Structure 1
Amino acid sequence: MKKLLLIVLIGCASVGYSQKIGLLMDSYVVERWLNDRNYICEEITKLGGECLVKVAEGVAETQLKQAKELIKAGAKVLIVVPVDIKEAVKVVDYATEKGVKVIAYDRIIPTDKLAAYLSFDNEKVGMLQAEYAIKNAPKGNYVLMNGPKSDYNAILFRKGQLQVLKPYEEKGDIKILEDIVLEEWGELNAFLEMQEQSLTLTNEINAVVAANDALASGVISALGDESVVKPMYITGQDAEIRAVRNLKKDLQDMTVYKPIKDLAKLAAKSAMKLANNESINELKYTTVAGVKVKAILLEPKVVTKDNYMETVVADGHVTVDELVGLEKE
């Protein structure tokens, strides 16, 4: 009986001492972020930790407040999707003072105090978008549609796009009619901007290099008429369900798939290692936003109507049932 009681007490103690990992999200405006949260928390739980989640709803000041709350609640590591990369430095500074390690998740926080930066090669994302646009629309008029400068990824997407497109512009093969940088991510912002462009531009648009699928959806909705949309080459990113549907309908021509399940699992495992004072051997120094940080950058993949079954469906990112359900709408 005493032995059984001792085993029960040991079991309770191990549960009581599970590592707490804080997850600070920006918002769920873009479809993918809810999936990131779920994958991260599932993996942390599987590894014996506890995932504490806070969502800032796009307000940087709220995110700092939430960081303090999670640290007070016992979080040993913070995984942060920053609202504003400059303001998020305050989160890292505060956490460092309290002995808490910070992982910047998919968006850089420009400080050398980071324990790790886990993301994809985001400049390559922009390059892939532009390369596939040029392949399909080698001549004509282009519109670029990117997210806010407060998200450094948006800067990298645009940098990659221009690296590919500028030589073609200099040769006179293409003309960039508009280089749009939105105030924030979201379909509505892209819809309003593209609606205005379609009313004011007299030139035919041959390609819209949209940085993600939400912006692509806004562009498609603004143009409305399929006879206008289909001859136009439209890019995206995130492989959202609606984007894959649009690929199948020839309304969108490509999306860049960043296997977020892989990134989420990597973040969860890395956070648990840091919480247990273990090293992350895969980390390599790289310079991002002018700051040298320890990082792991995964490779993005191009998805089209020809390979979505072998990529996003095969990975379980999108299911056939979801696509069939959407087609019945």
Structure 2
Amino acid sequence: MRHLPIFITVIVLIIFNACQSDEAIKLGFLYSTSNTERYVKEAGFFKEYVENNGAQVLVEHGEGDEAIQYQKAIAMFDEGIDGLALIAVNANTAAAIVREGKERGVKVIAHNRLVTNCDLDFFVSGDNTAIGKMMVDEIIKAKPSGTAVILGGDKYDRNAVGMGIAINEYLKPHIQSGNIEVLYETYIEDWSIDNAAFELDQVISNTGEVPDIIFAGYDGMAQGCIQVLEKHGVEKPVYITGQDATLEGVRNIVAGKQQMTAYHPSKETAYKSAEVLMMLVNNDSGLKSMHSGFVNNGQKDVPNVRVSSIAITKDNIDKVLIQETASYTRDEVYN
């Protein structure tokens, strides 16, 4: 009988810990597709932050299909998540995910891609104006005059629209001075490598002219353009932009096939989304001082925090991507 108090204490501790586990915050990170290298990395960093801060996390992606993403969101809600960070496959139809979450009392934030016409709690993003500016700045620095083609991202993605507006704004004085002539401009559905390649191929085939500059909205699109230039046997240098600092994009910069890419610090961005979502779930009043402004999504002004991007060229690949952020190893980049 003298061991009975110890036995009871152990049982009480087990029950207490089980209750704590049941009551632990549970968050979800639901991204659009595993085909986007950056999103896969950010999902991992989001998970790392949440678990390091004592919460549970579910990670899924929508396989690039808005209907599948909706089904996976419902499954996450059914599993009892308290908050969801969402990279929408479709920024318009994903409003249904936000509405369902809100009806269940789940906090929902948009990560990287604003979801329109819904009661979104928060938006963590890059700065599309700054990205467009850095693309123009780096290109003009390398090629102050010549012909240009602008291939933006998907026209239904506000990131693509915002970046396109910025490229045109900062390119305008160079066009007015007569230094830059824009031959063609269009949006690229799904930010697709194949669609980008098709558009550039049409420009070259129909005009017989190879542009000096290509503003490509994403490294995958830049790769599509590089393939077209190689198919046409183009020997002159063509100055191409990109975004996301994919391994393929970085290697293209090293090889002299691409001029620059916009690097979004994956760890910083994912950690920020995780921090914001945990604060929302905990009703932390400190969140009010964190946002840097508001973005209207068609229904409301959504609090927004922006994470700055970095222009990557041959000059700073080693410093930023290998030494400071350990995004890649030297062997991955150069071998």
Alignment of 1:219-298 (within 5 A): 219-224=225-230, 228=234, 231-279=237-285, 280=287, 281-288=289-296, 291-298=300-307
Alignment of 1:203-218 (within 5 A): 203-218=209-224
Distance in structure 2 (CA, Å) of the matches to 1:282 and 1:230:
48
Matched to 1:220, the amino acid is I
Q: Does the alignment pair 1:151 with 2:176?
A: no
The TM-score with structure 1 as length reference comes to 0.92
The residue number in structure 2 matching 1:34 is 40
Matched to 2:212, the amino acid is N
- Structure 2 alignment gaps of length 5 or more: 1-5
Distance in structure 1 (CA, Å) of the matches to 2:184 and 2:63:
29
Deviates more, 1:300-309 or 1:63-72: 63-72
Distance in structure 2 (CA, Å) of the matches to 1:234 and 1:30:
20
The residue number in structure 1 matching 2:326 is 316
- Structure 1 alignment gaps of length 5 or more: none
- 1:19–1:75 contact (8 Å) kept in structure 2: yes
Q: Does the alignment pair 1:181 with 2:191?
A: no
Deviates more, 1:185-194 or 1:157-166: 185-194
The residue number in structure 2 matching 1:125 is 131
Give the deviation of 1:17 after TM superposition: 2.2
Summarize deviations over 1:14-57 as a string: whole Å, max 9, x none.
22222211222111222211111111112212222222233222
- 2:204–2:210 contact (8 Å) kept in structure 1: no
- 2:223–2:249 contact (8 Å) kept in structure 1: yes
The residue number in structure 2 matching 1:201 is 207
Distance in structure 2 (CA, Å) of the matches to 1:264 and 1:226:
40
- 1:229–1:251 contact (8 Å) kept in structure 2: no
Distance in structure 2 (CA, Å) of the matches to 1:164 and 1:298:
21
Give the deviation of 1:169 after TM superposition: 1.7
Residues 35, 229 of structure 1: alpha-carbon distance in 2 compared, 3 angstrom cutoff: farther
Distance in structure 1 (CA, Å) of the matches to 2:126 and 2:219:
17
- 1:152–1:289 contact (8 Å) kept in structure 2: no
Matched to 2:290, the amino acid is E
Summarize deviations over 1:129-182 as a string: whole Å, max 9, x none.
112112222211101111112211011111111011122223322111110211
The residue number in structure 1 matching 2:3 is none
Which is greater in Rg?
A: 2
- 1:143–1:205 contact (8 Å) kept in structure 2: yes
Q: Secondary structure at the match of 2:98?
A: helix
Alignment of 1:37-48 (within 5 A): 37-48=43-54
The residue number in structure 2 matching 1:72 is 78
Matched to 1:282, the amino acid is M
Matched to 1:307, the amino acid is N
Matched to 1:154, the amino acid is A
Deviates more, 1:106-115 or 1:311-320: 106-115
Q: 2:316 aligned to 284, 300, 307, which one?
A: 307
Residues 204, 193 of structure 1: alpha-carbon distance in 2 compared, 3 angstrom cutoff: closer
Count of paired positions: 325
Deviates more, 1:268-277 or 1:242-251: 268-277
Output the aligned Cα RMSD: 2.0
> Stretches of 4+ moved more than 4 A in 1?
288-291
Give the deviation of 1:100 after TM superposition: 1.1
Distance in structure 1 (CA, Å) of the matches to 2:13 and 2:291:
39
